[in-house]
Amino acid sequence: MCYFHIITQAYQTKSTQNISSFPNSYPSEVGSGFNVIDSCWRKDSKWASNRQKLADCAKGYGADARGGKNGAIYVVTDPSDHPIHPKKGTLRYGAIQKRPLWIIFKRDMSITLEGGELFISSYKTIDGRGARVEIANGPCLRLDNVSHVIIHGITIHNCLRGRLDLVRRDPDHLVNTSTIGQSDGDGIRVTSSSKIWIDHCYLSKCGDGLLDITQGSAAVTVSNNYFTQHNKVMLLGHSNMYLKDKKMHVTVVFNHFASGLGQRMPRVRYGYAHVANNKYDEWGFYAIGGSSHPTILSEGNHYTARNDPRTKEVTKRISHDRRRWKKWSWKSKNDLFFNGAYFVSSGKFWRPNYSRSQAFKVASAKGVPTSLTRDAGPLRCVENLPCRN
Cα 197 from Cα 376, distance rounded (Å): 15
- Per the CATH hierarchy, to which homologous superfamily does domain 3-282+366-372 belong? Single-stranded right-handed beta-helix, Pectin lyase-like (2.160.20.10)
Q: What is the pLDDT of residue 21?
A: 34
Across the range 1-20, mean pLDDT stands at 37
- Between 8-12, 75-79, 132-136, 159-163, the lowest mean confidence (pLDDT) is in 8-12
* pLDDT for 4 beyond 70: no
Name the residue with higher pLDDT: 152 or 179. 152
Cα 77 from Cα 346, distance rounded (Å): 52
**Residue-wise pLDDT tens digits, 247-281:** 999 999 999 999 999 999 999 999 999 999 999 99
- Between 19-28, 42-51, 81-90, the lowest mean confidence (pLDDT) is in 19-28
Q: What is the pLDDT of residue 181?
A: 66
Q: In sequence order, what are the beta bridge partners of 170? A: 173
Q: What is the pLDDT of residue 182?
A: 66
**Residue-wise pLDDT tens digits, 191-227:** 999 999 999 999 999 999 999 999 999 999 999 999 9
**Among all residues, which ones are annotated catalytic?**
264
- Judge whether 378 and 258 are in contact, CB under 8 Å: no
Query: To the nearest whole percent, how much of the chain has pLDDT over 70?
Result: 91
Q: In sequence order, what are the beta bridge partners of 288? A: 315
Full-model pTM: 0.92
Q: What is the pLDDT of residue 2?
A: 41
* pLDDT for 15 beyond 60: no
Q: What is the pLDDT of residue 322?
A: 79
Q: What is the pLDDT of residue 178?
A: 74
Q: How confident is the model at residue 163 (pLDDT cuts 50, 70, 90)?
A: confident
* pLDDT for 326 beyond 60: yes
Q: What is the pLDDT of residue 86?
A: 98
**Residue-wise pLDDT tens digits, 284-324:** 999 999 999 999 999 999 999 999 999 999 999 987 677 88
The average confidence (pLDDT) of the chain is 91
Q: 3-state SS of 112-156?
A: CCCCCCEECCCCEEEECCCCCEEEECCCCEEEECCEEEEEECCEE
Q: What is the dihedral of CA 204, 206, 210, 216, to 10 degrees?
A: -170
